[in-house]
């Protein structure tokens, strides 16, 4: 099911891939990776979620491998960060805003595509989350970091994607999915992510757990 015209959908995808790829390339700079490492993190961050989704739902070969623009976009982001990383770091807050927009877009398109390939409503939500956050998880794993999505000391990331994907399956179930309503679902995820960044919103940890590590808990006991 195409929510937008193919041309609009294509450019939206490229924009989302670009901002995700920038975050991957910036992490590579902070880790002191070389140009190959920067490109690798940019590619997996920008394309990883979509590739995971397409492989799991049987949409092969993945879209990222059939459209040259999808492959070139992370490389363009790498070149930008390679030469201008100090300037990009200074506007990192703006990059995070665009990243939140990409999160909203990809959780919606991932959910819709998964459902179009025959998945049920709940599995479609899982694929929406994978599309939106899978690339970031791969990025962090390759950089030897605990994935940001799993860290309690980072603002919520998975929750907005899950909310956006859930809104989409409700729209599908009630036969109200359209370009307008899907845009509203993406906006919902986007706004939730911005609120998390603004107010430092975090997901709850285990009940009555207050310290930052198991070692601290043992010392307190």
Give Cβ neighbours of residue 90 (< 8 Å, ≥ 6 apart): none
Query: What is this structure's pTM?
Result: 0.90
Indicate if the pLDDT at residue 23 is higher than 50.
yes
Indicate if the pLDDT at residue 106 is higher than 80.
yes
pLDDT band, residue 201 (cuts 50/70/90): very high
Q: To the nearest whole percent, how much of the chain has pLDDT over 90?
A: 82
Q: What per-residue confidence (pLDDT) applies to 209?
A: 76
What would the mean pLDDT of 211-220 be, rounded to a whole number? Answer: 48
pLDDT band, residue 207 (cuts 50/70/90): confident
Indicate if the pLDDT at residue 2 is higher than 80.
no
Contact 22, 79 (CB under 8 A): no
Indicate if the pLDDT at residue 25 is higher than 70.
yes
Nearest to 107 by CA among 192, 8, 212: 192
Q: Rounded to whole angstroms, how far apart are CA atoms 219 and 221?
A: 5
pLDDT band, residue 5 (cuts 50/70/90): confident
pLDDT digits (tens, 9 = 90+) for 147-176: 999 998 899 999 999 999 999 999 999 999
Indicate if the pLDDT at residue 216 is higher than 70.
no
Contact 125, 113 (CB under 8 A): no
Indicate if the pLDDT at residue 177 is higher than 80.
yes
Q: Rounded to whole angstroms, how far apart are CA atoms 38 and 22?
A: 9
């Amino acid at each position: 099911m195409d929510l937008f015209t193919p041309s609009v959908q294509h450019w939206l995808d490229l924009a989302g891939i670009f901002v995700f790829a920038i975050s991957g390339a910036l992490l590579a700079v902070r880790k002191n990776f070389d140009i190959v490492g920067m490109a690798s993190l940019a590619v997996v961050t920008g394309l990883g979620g979509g590739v995971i989704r397409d492989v799991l739902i049987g949409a092969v070969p993945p879209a990222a491998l059939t459209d040259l623009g999808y492959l070139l976009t992370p490389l363009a982001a790498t070149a930008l960060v390679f030469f201008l990383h100090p300037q990009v770091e200074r506007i990192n807050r703006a990059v995070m805003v665009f990243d939140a927009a990409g999160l909203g877009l990809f959780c919606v398109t991932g959910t819709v595509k998964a459902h179009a390939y025959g998945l049920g409503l709940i599995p479609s939500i899982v694929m929406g989350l994978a599309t939106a956050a899978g690339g970031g998880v791969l990025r962090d794993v390759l950089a030897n970091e605990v994935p940001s999505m799993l860290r309690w000391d980072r603002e919520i990331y998975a929750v907005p994607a899950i909310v956006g994907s859930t809104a989409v399956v409700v729209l599908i179930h009630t036969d109200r999915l359209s370009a307008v309503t899907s845009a509203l679902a993406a906006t919902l995820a986007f706004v939730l992510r911005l609120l998390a960044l603004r107010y430092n919103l975090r997901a709850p940890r285990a009940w009555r757990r207050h310290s930052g590590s198991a070692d601290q808990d043992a010392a307190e006991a």
